[in-house]
Structure 1
Amino acid sequence: MTLDRITLSSFRNHAETRLDETRQFNLLVGENGAGKTNILEALSLFAPGRGIRRSPLGDMVGQQGAGGFTIGASLFAEPDQEPVRLGTYIDAARPGRRLVRVNSSEASAVSLGEWLAIGWLTPAMDRLFTDSAGARRRFVDRMVLAVDPTHARTASRYEAALRERNRLLSDDVEPDPTWLDGVEAQLSEYGAALAAGRARLISALIQELAGLPEEPFARPALGYAAGGPLHQSELASALRENRRKDRAASRTLIGPHKDELDVRMAGKNVPAASCSTGEQKAMLIAIILAHSELATRGRPNLLLLDEVAAHLDPIRREALFDRLRGSGAQVWLTGTELPPFDNIRQEAAIWRVEHGRTVRL
């Protein structure tokens, strides 16, 4: 798989940027603030969702443009087939909505997941194990989405039903039980599907991680702590029985919006949040690599690694590059200088990024 002929127009600080003749390893080098991560963010928008920064759409629009942006790329999934042209953009006339085109035809953002599985690792994710449970749920959902594009629709429908139930519970007037029955039927249907997707993903990751050596990356032990019953009928019954407590709290207290990802260091049985920052980084990389293996088996896989090499010692860097080399994923990496990438320099496509402009090295 190759994602090539990549174009960015009026996206953040990139007025007009084009990246051609990509390879498995693609390296973006430049000073902080040059626009390297902006390119990764643009690529992350070829997946459903809000990208690696989860920014409002308006923040992505370049000041030099007319109120919109355009990102395009050609996906060469098979050597003998015509490429699939992917595009996502904001129309200045409709600034609040991100639009998608596949081969010049309008498509949904969810449909992008049918063409590409995209994963990423950014410096902000280093706080994952000490962050909120909500941050870890979003992390799991992004991984599920890379192997199951329908997961985004399920999550969206669950959130809509959850908002409606919470609205009814917080009203001054006692909600109509029949109306609650209908909302809870939707909530339990989509909640059970949401939880099942997360549970399958974590189970697959556990199997994948079991085959990894504990060194040089610390092997994490994963667990799925469900926030409520996993089966639809049981979740519906629990929601019905919990109405009084939920109404007192003005919110729904059980369900997959209370799920938690439990991560411990294998061998030591120490919670990840209590491990050193180096051990946390090593475990996070191990999870990302294991997930990349899963994602590559279904569809073309893109892996975006922002400033990852600079924080690894030479042994772990070499091990990381070796794993990536055999992963089958197309990899995009950023860095402020070239020496940390000496092991892949001869096989990588390299661009220097300066003030939103790129020069092929």
Structure 2
Amino acid sequence: MIIARLSLTDFRNHAAAELVAAPGLVALYGDNGAGKTNILEAISLLAPGRGLRRAALPEMVRDGAAGGFAVFAEVQPGDDLPPVSLGTGIEPAQPGRRVVRINGAAAAAASLGEWLGVLWLTPAMDRLFVDTAGNRRRFLDRLVLALDPRHAQHGNRYVAALRARGKLLGDPGHADPQWLTSLEAQLAEHGAAIDAGRRQMLAALSAELARQPDTPFARPLLTLVDSDGAERAVPSSAAALKDLFAARRRIDAAAGRATAGPHRDDLVAAHVATGRAAARCSTGEQKAMLLSLVLAHSDCVARARGQRPVLLLDEVAAHLDPPRRAALYHRLANQGGQAWLTGTEAALFADMPGPVTRFAIASGRIVAG
């Protein structure tokens, strides 16, 4: 998957910007605050979800603009497929409503995943293994989404049913048992699909990581656990989840929330070589394991879809020693597809193997070369 042309209008600090990129590596360099990460965020909005910052839509509008923004890209989804135009943004009259267009026609945001896969790694993700379980679930679900766009629909419907069930349990005197049973059936159906998607993703990631024993980056061992920290060895069937929710009605009513289910699961990791939990590893080891995960996931998508996703690597090069930096560049250049990287200095990208598209970013101004 290749982004051949990217246009931004009133997005963050970019009033009007256009970038034309080739396959391979794309290097964005400039001072902190110049707008490099904003470009990566714009690309991330061309996939389903809330983007790499998970920001509210009005926050992305350039200061002083009329109240809307637009992101447009011309994408080459594969060698044997024609180019497709993807666009998203908001209009001043409806600042809370995201507009999506595919080849000029209105479309649902979930449809973007059928044309473009995007995966990112940002400094904010460095604490993933010591962060909340919720952030790790979101990270895992983002990986699943790149392979199966339907995963977002299951997630949205699961959350909607979960909220409706919680509202009913909070008013037991007026709770309709039949409606409660119906909601729990929906939870079970979509929860089982969510669990299956996560398990398939972890199995695929583990297989890819095992194929790369000589990688210079630390490899993680991944496990899905429940809210009590016990390994989830058995897949969650719809029937089992339905029974679980029915059995925990009183517990959940007293707690004011659903205390068990896929929304309470967690992703844990350990350093393969040492067996140490990722949360107890050094910061450098955690970053290396996270990078291994992102690269393995790129391979998973390429193997499953026949199309490598666009990689967005924000300030990754600055945190690697020269040998590992060279190894990363070599791998990205040889695997095909397109990877966008940011850094504060052009020197960080001087030894990149070609082809390389380079842009200097300064206060919202973009200069090719």
Name the TM-score, length of structure 2 as normaliser.
Answer: 0.94
Question: Of 346, 349, 358, which aligns to 1:350?
Answer: 358
Distance in 2 of aligned mates of 1:171 and 1:356: 52
1:277 and 2:277 are equivalent in the alignment: no
Alignment-derived partner of residue 148 in structure 1: 148
Distance in 2 of aligned mates of 1:77 and 1:281: 30
Asked if structure 1 preserves the Cα contact closer than 8 Å seen for 2:2 and 2:310, the reply is no
SS of 2:216's equivalent in the other structure is coil
Aligned in 2, Cα 1:239/1:40: closer, same or farther, shift over 3 Å?
same
Aligned in 2, Cα 1:81/1:244: closer, same or farther, shift over 3 Å?
closer
Q: CA deviation at 1:64?
A: 3.3
Number of residues paired by the alignment?
361
Asked if structure 1 preserves the Cα contact closer than 8 Å seen for 2:360 and 2:367, the reply is yes
Distance in 2 of aligned mates of 1:234 and 1:226: 14
Which residues of structure 2 form unaligned runs of 5+?
Answer: none
Q: Which deviations, in whole Å up to 9, do the C-alpha atoms of 1:315-350 show, x marking residues without a partner?
A: 111111122122223100000002222221653111
Q: CA deviation at 1:176?
A: 2.5
Alignment-derived partner of residue 244 in structure 1: 250
Asked if structure 2 preserves the Cα contact closer than 8 Å seen for 1:351 and 1:359, the reply is yes
Aligned in 2, Cα 1:293/1:80: closer, same or farther, shift over 3 Å?
closer
Aligned in 2, Cα 1:232/1:81: closer, same or farther, shift over 3 Å?
closer
Alignment-derived partner of residue 232 in structure 1: 238
Show the 5 A alignment for 1:292-311. Answer: 292-297=298-303, 298=305, 299-311=307-319
Alignment-derived partner of residue 106 in structure 1: 106
Distance in 2 of aligned mates of 1:174 and 1:225: 35
Asked if structure 2 preserves the Cα contact closer than 8 Å seen for 1:195 and 1:226, the reply is no
Asked if structure 2 preserves the Cα contact closer than 8 Å seen for 1:117 and 1:296, the reply is no
Amino acid at match of 1:355: S
Alignment-derived partner of residue 338 in structure 1: 346
Alignment-derived partner of residue 52 in structure 1: 52
Asked if structure 2 preserves the Cα contact closer than 8 Å seen for 1:292 and 1:327, the reply is no
Which residues of structure 1 form unaligned runs of 5+?
Answer: none
Q: Which deviations, in whole Å up to 9, do the C-alpha atoms of 1:69-115 show, x marking residues without a partner?
A: 11111112345754211111211111111111111111110000000
Amino acid at match of 2:237: H
1:253 and 2:259 are equivalent in the alignment: yes
Asked if structure 2 preserves the Cα contact closer than 8 Å seen for 1:116 and 1:300, the reply is no
Asked if structure 2 preserves the Cα contact closer than 8 Å seen for 1:118 and 1:146, the reply is yes
Identical residues among aligned pairs (%)? 51
Alignment-derived partner of residue 205 in structure 1: 205
Distance in 2 of aligned mates of 1:35 and 1:142: 24
Show the 5 A alignment for 1:61-72. Answer: 61-72=61-72
Q: CA deviation at 1:171?
A: 2.4
State the Cα RMSD in Å.
Answer: 1.5
SS of 1:343's equivalent in the other structure is coil
Q: CA deviation at 1:165?
A: 1.0
Distance in 2 of aligned mates of 1:84 and 1:254: 42
Q: CA deviation at 1:177?
A: 1.8
Aligned in 2, Cα 1:79/1:329: closer, same or farther, shift over 3 Å?
closer
Asked if structure 2 preserves the Cα contact closer than 8 Å seen for 1:129 and 1:280, the reply is yes
Asked if structure 1 preserves the Cα contact closer than 8 Å seen for 2:333 and 2:353, the reply is no
Amino acid at match of 1:329: G
Distance in 1 of aligned mates of 2:214 and 2:261: 34
Show the 5 A alignment for 1:159-174. Answer: 159-171=159-171, 173=173
Asked if structure 2 preserves the Cα contact closer than 8 Å seen for 1:220 and 1:283, the reply is yes
Alignment-derived partner of residue 286 in structure 1: 292
SS of 1:26's equivalent in the other structure is strand
SS of 2:127's equivalent in the other structure is helix
Alignment-derived partner of residue 222 in structure 2: 222
Higher mean alpha-carbon deviation, 28-37 vs 176-185, is at 176-185
Asked if structure 2 preserves the Cα contact closer than 8 Å seen for 1:30 and 1:337, the reply is yes
Alignment-derived partner of residue 93 in structure 2: 93
Asked if structure 1 preserves the Cα contact closer than 8 Å seen for 2:3 and 2:21, the reply is no
Amino acid at match of 2:297: H
